[in-house]
Amino acid sequence: MKILVTGAVGFIGSHTAERLQSLGHQVIGIDNFSPYYSETLKKLNEKALGEKGISVIKKDLRDQDLADSLPKDIDYIFHFAAQPGISKTSTFEDYFSNNIIGTKNLIDYALQLTNLKMVVNIATSSIYGLEATFPESVAPKPASHYGVTKLAAEQLILQKSREKQFKACSLRLYSVIGPRERPEKMYTKLIACGFNNEAFPLYEGSATHLRSFTYVGDIVDGIVSVINNEDAVDGEIINLGTEVEHTTQEGIEAVETVIGKTIQINHVEARAGDQLRTKANIDKAKKLLNYNPQTTLLEGVKKQVEWYEANFL
């Protein structure tokens, strides 16, 4: 199949694009190379994709001429592109335009595709709110502009499934870690601080926060398994993550164990909208996708440290 991956040079998008290519599909990426974080990592990911034969179109989903830049014979869309995370440097307009307007433009493009089998929206546990321990049937209570706009994007895509205009599903991901994680995210920053003898900025009270830290390879397992399951997952919201919880403090200790040194901690003001607990309820994913994440926290951290050492030391 011919597959379009939006946000293809990002963390999870790049891993998914590579996996899809390895499964024998023809993958085309699109990314706007947003300056939200350094282009160095994005260029590194683009180079890795290129070595696998995956081309990336530099284009913004918010552009009005989006459809003119993309092929019309696409069978599948995996939609990762978004204004990510909770950041003081991101305005509401950033979240709104990227996550809602960009998604609406992608939908308009998808409606032109005669071969389209499914649109897979990549969502987030932040949709649930400050606590994300629930099955997909629970009403969401997002507590950040990120969560609110990702919920809106999810519903825009699922609306088209309800209208029978194309098949679609939405996958809510939980606390993904591993190689290529963004530089401002917890594990990449921890690893960098450890190797560079810098203090890690720990948000006040967050050491006891609980997370379903899920290795990116396990997440990609779930994402690609929707292929050939279109009828079963059409219109569905599905959680992907591990059922195993760890505190932020345990995450810090895992990195310290792998790199063999204690990381200095600098306590900083708590972040508004930060989740207190995430624990993936994956009963639905097990049933529909035979989903079974296996990578332990320590195994995932080891792979991420190896990637960091290979590319940044």
DSSP string covering 205-272, please?
A: TGGG-EE--EEHHHHHHHHHTTTT-HHHHTT-EEEES-S--EEHHHHHHHHHHHHTSPPPEEEEPPPT
Amino acid at 107: I
Cα separation, 236 vs 127, whole angstroms: 15
187 carries an active-site annotation: no
Of 120, 125, 136, 116, give the one whose Cα is nearest residue 233.
Answer: 120
Alpha helices (runs of H) in the chain, residue ranges in sequence order? 11-22, 39-51, 92-96, 102-110, 145-162, 186-196, 216-224, 230-233, 248-259, 283-289, 297-312
Cα separation, 214 vs 306, whole angstroms: 17
Contact 96, 128 (CB under 8 A): no
Which residue is associated with the tokens 């609110």? 148
* CA count, 13 A, side-chain hemisphere, 190: 28
Contact 279, 133 (CB under 8 A): yes
* Options 109, 128, 146, 215, the catalytic residue: 146
Strand order in the sheet with 76-79: 55-58, 26-31, 2-6, 76-79, 118-124, 168-173, 237-240
First-residue to last-residue Cα distance in the chain: 38
Please give the positions annotated as active site: 146
